[in-house]
Amino acid sequence: MVETQGLSANMEDYLEAIYNVVQKNGAALPRDIGNILNVGRSSVSGALKTLRSKGLIRHESYGVITLTERGEVIAREVNRRHEALKEFFMRILDIDEELADRTACSMEHTVGDKVMARLVGFVRYSDNCPSEVTDWLEGFDRFCETNCKGDESFWSDNSPGINSSLDQLEIAALEAAAREVPGTLREVRPGDEVEITKVDMRGSMLSRLLDMGITKGSTVKVKKVAPLGDPIEIRIRGYNLTLRKDEAGKIKVKPL
């Protein structure tokens, strides 16, 4: 399995969307990705920033995005799962394409390799042994028509755990998102860019920071941390400044 750890489901979706657009057009624009995933411009640029910091995508000139080699490997893997799941849903479970697509989209991030292998095996098996399996599948369809009319209730009655697992997934996603959103400048990783939301200080220290251009709404890039781990170097308003982590810890930031 390709190492996709550290990427949230959300990020995998972005990667996959970029992959699909790149496959079709050769390159992607943030606008295309927003349209596919149906999200706003700011979310797209935030996600792109994260992906870029992980070295999965490249920003070319004119805002064009392409995948790095690593990004492409991960995206292709996610896409392969998506296609396999979708095929299983449509051909075996007889689910319509739209729903199959949507479901595959959310399952592709969580289904393990073993389950994937079995699913793909099942589809192949049904291809190779048409007579018995087709009969068996037809029987299954008939069973569904009679026994599982209200699909949702049939499912939830038999497996009450689904909602809580979904909740857990959501919590995990939120936690992952929270990990990516630093609260203060101190926690921002080198290479990342953030926006200042508040300078939480008083007195001469505050005046100093304000004079140097560290004000609400300005964009800061953390360039590096000193070798011994303390002062950090930032870029703000077109110049480089260093400050200690103590001071950086009092500067509240949010992702761009």
Partner 1 sequence: MAHKGCLSDYPGGACGKCRHRRRSGPRQEPLQVALVGNPNTGKTTLFNLLTGSQRHVGNYPGVTIDKVVGQCHTGRRDFEITDLPGTYSISPYSLEEIVVRRYLLEETPDVVVLVVDASNLRRNLYLAVQLLELGMPLVVALNKTDVARQSGSIIDAALLEELIGIPVVSIVASTGIGARTLLRRIADTAESSVPGALRKLSEYPVVSYNQDLEREISKLVGELAGKKISYFNASRRWIAIKLLESDQGVLTHINDAGIKASAEKAIRILEDSHGDIPESVFAELRYKWIEDVCRSAVLFASEEHASFSDKVDSVLTNRFIGIPIFLGLMYLVFHLTFSLGDPLVGFIESGFRHLGSAISSFWEPGSDSFLRSLLVDGIIGGVGGVLVFLPNIVLLFLAIAILEESGYMSRAAFLMDRVMHKFGLHGKSFIPMLLGFGCNVPAIMATRVMEDRTAQRITMLIIPLMSCGARLPIYALIIPAFFPSAWRGMTLLSLYLIGIVLALLAARLLRETIYKGDAPSFMMELPPYRIPSPRGVSKQIGRQSWYYVQKAGTIILGASILFWFMGQFPGIPEDREARFESRRQAISLDTNLDDEMKAENLRQVNMERSQAALENSLMGKIGHGMEIFMAPAGFDWKVSTALVGAVVAKEIFVAQLGVIYSLGDQGNTDENSLREKLQAVYTPLQAYCIMLFCLIAFPCVATVAVTKRESGSWLFAMFQLFSLTLLAWILTTTVYQVGSLFL
Here the tokens at position 116 are: 């994937």
**Could you give the C-alpha distances from 71 to 33, 78, 91, 104, 143, in angstroms and in order?**
15, 11, 30, 20, 43
CB 199 within 8 A of CB 216: yes
Residue 30 near partner 1 by CB under 8 A:
no
Whose Cβ is closer to partner 1: residue 41's or residue 198's? Answer: 198
Q: Give the Cα separation of 238 and 21 in Å (integer).
A: 34
The DSSP output letter for 239 is E
Residue 164 near partner 1 by CB under 8 A:
no
Residue 202 near partner 1 by CB under 8 A:
yes
- The minimum distance between CB 253 and partner 1, in angstroms, equals 15
Give the list of residues 6+ apart from residue 175 with CB closer than 8 angstroms, or none: none
Whose Cβ is closer to partner 1: residue 68's or residue 215's? Answer: 215
Interacting residue with partner 1 among 24, 41, 189, 208 (CB under 8 A): 208
- The minimum distance between CB 215 and partner 1, in angstroms, equals 4
- The minimum distance between CB 230 and partner 1, in angstroms, equals 4
CB 19 within 8 A of CB 27: no
- The minimum distance between CB 190 and partner 1, in angstroms, equals 10
- The minimum distance between CB 208 and partner 1, in angstroms, equals 5
Whose Cβ is closer to partner 1: residue 37's or residue 201's? Answer: 201
Interacting residue with partner 1 among 31, 41, 102, 224 (CB under 8 A): 224
Here the tokens at position 92 are: 């075996």
Residue 230 near partner 1 by CB under 8 A:
yes
Give the list of residues 6+ apart from residue 13 with CB closer than 8 angstroms, or none: 37, 105, 109
Task: Return residues touching partner 1 (CB under 8 A).
Answer: 198-199, 202-213, 215-218, 224, 226-231, 233, 237-244, 247
